[in-house]
Structure 1
């Protein structure tokens, strides 16, 4: 298993923050910010790092929301997703992200999402509220 993390953030209007992946896996697809946990790094540190790299935003990492597994080129990704609150920064796509934006539920239905993302977010009660 390859340990990964993701950060789920909503703005005050209930919109969900998504990034469009610039690189494999998931190139061109929309997902929540996240990535691999580096050796010696905690999940919280990894979420903070990935969020900043991909969106330009600093977050406070909150409670664990859920875990999903996805196929990887060698093995499987085990992705641990956490609720996040934006502290500071200006939203911009960076690092592995081709785009980053806050989305409403209506916009979410028009985007090509990474496999299983909509179902996981719905099951965890984390779809956009706005």
Structure 2
């Protein structure tokens, strides 16, 4: 099994953009990488787990919410190097637009805080790279009734 830090291969992670009116659900990271920064709830896909299962599990673990993935918002590469330019972390991230099925938000595992943040306050937070852009893309995708990129039945 590959370690998260100094891995021998890329790791696949999922994230969720969840909206309540004009607010988006964010979590404050409780561990490295990006300890203390605000980001979308999410985490690594487990062996044998579908992307949909991973999104549902990770969001519930970190926020207490049960969600349903609606569509894929973004695919991101995250290669983080240490001071010697060795690859400290390498993630391939798939961020999804999600709808709340049930639950009340509360900080769970791996996070120190969990809250819905007004979209107009995103610039005032210490966000992980790309978070604001993914949130705004997901906000626009909510109104799109075209074909979906993510179809778990294919």
**Whose Rg is larger?**
2
Q: Which structure has more RCO (C-alpha within 8 Å, separation ≥ 6)?
A: 1
* Equivalent residue number for residue 26 of structure 1: 34
- Structure 1 runs (4+) deviating above 6 angstroms are none
1:57-102 per-residue CA deviation (whole Å, 9 max, x = no partner) reads: 0001111111111125555200001110011111100001100010
- Backbone CA RMSD of aligned residues: 1.8
Is 1:126 aligned to 2:142, yes or no?
A: no
Secondary structure in 1 aligned to 2:139? coil
TM-score for both structures, normalised by structure 1: 0.89
Pair 1:106–1:61, CA change in 2 (3 A): same
* Residue matched to 2:14: 5
What is the alpha-carbon distance in structure 2 between the residues aligned to residue 90 and residue 121 of structure 1? 21
- What secondary structure does 2:124 align onto? coil
The correspondence of residues 1-130 of structure 1 with structure 2, limited to 5 A, is 1-11=10-20, 13-72=21-80, 73-74=87-88, 76-122=90-136, 124-126=137-139
8 Å contact from structure 2 (residues 64, 107) kept in 1: yes
TM score, norm. by length of structure 2: 0.76
